[in-house]
Structure 1
Amino acid sequence: MRMRKRAQYLRQLRELQLRDIGGLAVELRRLRRERPELVRAKVAAAAATSAELQALERALHERHPLRELREAGISGACPRCGSVHGSRDRYCAACGQALRATR
């Protein structure tokens, strides 16, 4: 159930990120300005959200446990509560469980 909630959240986040990128592009064009570093950062954030969402959707569709999923930026699931955590996370955002260092 947590994976489905996370996927729903990521869908909403991705939609907001894409709208933000579109709005930024329109405003930059209107003001005749260029901010390629800002656009790149926003696109990279949206791409990371999309990659995580795709990984979750595949895991949900194929019914594989998340710990078997290998996707850039996603390290696995918390051993205590099962929440998704990133490869750079040291603690679970949901329950505070210390996560194993993976470097």
Structure 2
Amino acid sequence: MTSRVLNVWWGSRVVGQFTQDRHGDIAFRNANEWLVDQTTPPVSASLPKRPEQFSRRECRPFFGGLLPEESQRLVSAQALGVSPGSDFALLDRLGGDVAAAL
């Protein structure tokens, strides 16, 4: 069961949803509207357009890459009062919905 959801945007369109369940496990799923539009590219080479959900192992490198590096990530997490190991919590506190970095 999903307990937290962040929309992932590309410009003004929702690409999909980055989720975290009540156990802390993260996942990503492309939005159906994004999948059926033949003109839209995948959000990343590591997250191709597919209807199946991407696991933590598959999506963490991409979403973790949107965050600051080591020391800046620790400082940001401390300043925002979140665990530095929680990419979801840090992305949520830094801005809520995620704009794909393209």
TM-score, normalisation: structure 2: 0.30
1 or 2, which has the higher strand percentage? 2
Structure of greater Rg: 1
Q: RCO (CA 8 Å, sep 6+): is it higher in 1 or 2? A: 2
